[in-house]
Amino acid sequence: MKKRIFTLTATSILLLSVAASHAQAPPGSQPAPSNARYAEYPAISPDDRVTFQLSAPLAQKVQVIPGEDEKGNGLGKGPFDMVKDNKGVWWVTVGPVTPGFHYYKFLVDGALVADPATQNYFAFDGGASGVEVPAAGLDFYLPKNVPHGDVRIHWFYSKVTETWLRVHIYLPPGYDSNTKTRYPVVYLRHEGSEDDSAWVFQGKLNFIMDNLIAEKKAKPMIVVMDNDHVYNPKEPKIKNERPNKPMAPPNRYKEEMITDLVPMIDATYRTIADRNHRAIAGMANGGGEALLIAFDPKDDLFSYAGAFSCGYCTTAVQGPATVTTIFDGIWKDPATFNKNFHLFYLSAGTLEMHHKFIPELHDKLTAIGVKSVYHEVGGAGGTHEWLNAREAFRDFAPRLFQ
């Protein structure tokens, strides 16, 4: 009955991996929770060493390339040379590593490819692999026996880009049954190389929200996760600052959000459609975008704004901008800013490259009378990776719409 109909002609190559000994991994190693079903590797040892495996019988050189955070935390600095066994299977054990979610790829004789043994993640502008190393004592992003909201995948036509766009939307538990209730909305932006699926699959946003709502720590709210890589393909292509992607037309993320996305969300879902019930935040590059959108006075759509691990924000401290020039000089008038924003939130991880500049920004803003909240993410979440973003959102969401 279980007939495999779509067969890869080279499936037999994979069989070699089964014969390989488990002795290559430290005792007690278990498949990572992020693995594709049935995949035994990557495997995680009780002391958080990670063993990777790839069958590549004819290869000369195979390495694990960490999608490392800026300082070589996470999986470690890499690249990690793998060693071939007598069955053509390559192995390496790294670590102990920092708990959390780590991207990586394999470099197989110069080809940079994803490990097909993990779940699919979209990152680095394409298919990527990742390994989740459970963090002892942290379960705020795991599914629990509480009411669960649904994640919606919604497609809509964008007038700005003249294309169909996709967005992921979290709707809280009770949305379907409380049919008169309207909800506030958070718009949440991904890190630069990812897409609208990242806050769900890498970020575990839905489980974080389910758990916060169940504990009555956060108000029920709608979370809209869109994709910042939007452009009109009819526009002339330009040289993109992403060096390996020279053909992208001008990015239209802000115009698309204001013109298409927010009105569509307000027309489609039971939102409270005013600035007092609208927040925006983002991780890394998405944090800078969130503030650029929130702080544009001609739009005036948001009264809560957050930037997690925002490199762009640090330019107000380390140059070339200053706290009174960045964001079109919005902080020249602290009284108006404080009146307009119920919350301006910054976070940084203790192991991040820009870490010291974020609390410095917070201090400078405080000194000139601009109200901001600074949250430091330490421990395993201190790296520039998704455990950091999860923890930042866990701390951010309860401060909204109170």
| Positions 88 through 117 that interact with a copy of itself (CB under 8 A) | 88, 103, 105-117
Q: Least distance in Å: CB of 161 to a copy of itself? A: 12
Q: Which of the ranges 242-250, 274-282, 318-326, 337-345 carries the binding residues for a copy of itself, by CB under 8 A?
A: 242-250
Q: Could you say which residues in the range 371-390 bind a copy of itself, by CB under 8 A? A: 384-385
Does position 129 bind a copy of itself by CB under 8 A? yes
Extract the tokens encoding 82: 């793998």
First and final CA of the chain: distance in angstroms?
55
Using the minimum distance from each CB to a copy of itself, give the nearer residue, 165 or 186: 165
Does position 59 bind a copy of itself by CB under 8 A? yes
Choosing from 138, 248, 273, 301, the residue that interacts with a copy of itself (CB under 8 A) is 248
Q: How do strand 163-171 and strand 222-225 relate by DSSP bridges? A: antiparallel
Amino acid letter at 131?
Answer: V
The rounded distance, in Å, linking the Cα atoms of 167 and 386 is: 20
Choosing from 41, 101, 308, 312, the residue that interacts with a copy of itself (CB under 8 A) is 312
Exposed e or buried b per residue across 75-112, where buried means at least 16 C-beta atoms within 10 angstroms of its C-beta: bbebbbebebbeebbbbbbbbebbbbbbbbbbbbeeee
Choosing from 61, 219, 275, 399, the residue that interacts with a copy of itself (CB under 8 A) is 61
Using CA atoms in the order 54, 56, 60, 63, what is the torsion angle rounded to 10 degrees?
-20
Does position 62 bind a copy of itself by CB under 8 A? yes
Choosing from 25, 44, 56, 346, the residue that interacts with a copy of itself (CB under 8 A) is 56
Using the minimum distance from each CB to a copy of itself, give the nearer residue, 128 or 400: 128
Measured in degrees and rounded to the nearest 5, phi and psi for residue 350 equal -65, -20
From residue 142, alpha-carbon distances to 134, 209, 218, 274, 317 in Å are: 10, 10, 17, 32, 36
State the Cα angle at 390 between 92 and 356, rounded to 5°: 85
**How many residues lie near a copy of itself (CB under 8 A)?**
112
Contact flags string 16-55 toward a copy of itself, x per CB under 8 A: -xx-----------------xxxxx-------------xx
Choosing from 128, 186, 262, 358, the residue that interacts with a copy of itself (CB under 8 A) is 128
